[in-house]
Amino acid sequence: MLPLTAERLAQLRGDAALERETMLERRVRGGQDPAIAVEEVPEVDDFVVHTLRDELLEADGRLAEFGLARLAARAGGPDADEHRRNADRVEFELLRQIAAAAPDLTVAVWRAGAHLAAD
């Protein structure tokens, strides 16, 4: 189970808000329409979910393996579908853990898992 206190969640959200604001500012200063930038940049809780997912992977010693599986899936080789399915399955389980530990993040977890093909 993911140990996640209210204080830790507040810290993660604060860090994520800063990251989101930085991305928005960079895009707008680069000439992108602010309305489009706001629509395209992930929400604060989306950043938090991805951070927690990566922390769980790292805690299990699987961060590099997961990254390589995602890369192999994108490469389009003969085993690409198998790598994608395996990585999707791992990510789905991690997202379930995050949603169980922090129900406030459930909507962001759904967004993060929307592209997964969890069998």
pTM of the model: 0.90
In a domain, 119, yes or no: no
Range of the domain at 59: 6-113
Give the integer Cα–Cα distance in Å for 92 and 53: 10
Residue 76 pLDDT: 85
In a domain, 13, yes or no: yes
Mean pLDDT by 10 residues, the chain (119 residues): 86 98 98 97 98 94 92 90 92 95 96 86
Give the integer Cα–Cα distance in Å for 109 and 98: 8
In a domain, 70, yes or no: yes
The closest of 82, 119, 43, 48 to 56, measured between CA atoms, is: 48
In a domain, 14, yes or no: yes
In a domain, 1, yes or no: no
In a domain, 118, yes or no: no
In a domain, 58, yes or no: yes
CA atoms within 13 A on the CB side of 18: 5
Tokens of 38: 């706001």
Number of domains forming the structure of the chain = 1
Residue 117 pLDDT: 85
In a domain, 99, yes or no: yes
**Which amino acid is located at 9 in the chain?**
L
